[in-house]
A = this chain, B = another copy of it.
Amino acid sequence: MRKGTLYMIPTTLGGETTSDIIPEDVKKQATELRHFIVEDLKSARRFLRKLDRTFPIDESTFFVLNKRTDIGEIYAFLKPAIEGHSIGVMSDAGCPGVADPGASVASIAHEKNIPVKPLVGPSSILMALMGSGFSGQNFTFHGYLPKERKDRIGAIKKFEGDCFRTGTTHIFMDTPFRNMNVLDDMLNNLTDPTLVCIASNITLPTESIMTMTVKEWRKHAYDLAKKPTMFLIGKRQ
């Protein structure tokens, strides 16, 4: 029997409308599926209803995948694909498989020879990079910074040093309630001419992407509390 495909379906980053961020054919593809592996049940259902108000939630199967999901369960989640049904993977925001548990599903799909197909949608990492003006020829995404202040400052200074030596762009983030601590640590520990880009609320009407030197940032009062934010250290092109 021909196997189903595992579709990696990007979702919204916040409250934006889907026509801003999801291509027409991706909508069609996503709403044709009846099997889903999702990070958050409520947001996945809401997203599908946003794509199509008549989407038959009750006729669809949803498996929940999060940090607590056992690897053994993921094999069971993929059973419909082995039986010929395509499956959609959705994160609670943005592109599945990038900074969420979705990658483990794709990994096991490859092991089982289930075709994996990523669909087009918003990625705050990539959009921050596009908007920063920094080099995209070489870049590293570090995910979340260390929680301990000393380690966080160490990490930030290491990124600055590497950027200075190699020109690599460094991208990182933290949980929104720690954003102001990250900003303080950057402004107190990086050197004046280092360029920093701060990209907040990407794709939302309140989006803000600004690149300035550390010296200039110090003159700005800037509120990042609760805003999903990407921090970048890079070189002027």
Contacts and interface: CB of A to CB of B under 8 A. Distances in A.
A82 interface: no
A9 to B, nearest CB: 10
A48 interface: no
A120 B203 contact: yes
Interface of A: 8, 17-26, 95-110, 115-118, 120-123, 125-144, 168, 197, 202-203, 207, 209-212, 236-237
A116 B96 contact: no
Majority-rule SS of A interface residues: mixed
B209 A97 contact: no
A21 B101 CA distance: 24
Contacts of A212: 110
Given A120-B122, A120-B127, A107 B22 contact: no
A174 to B, nearest CB: 13
B107 A133 contact: yes
A165 to B, nearest CB: 15
Given A95-B130, A131-B8, A139 B140 contact: yes
Contacts of A122: 120
B137 A110 contact: no
A98 B126 contact: yes
A21 B24 CA distance: 8
- Most B-side CB within 10 Å, residue of A104, A132, A212: A132
A18 B120 CA distance: 11
Nearest to A124: B118
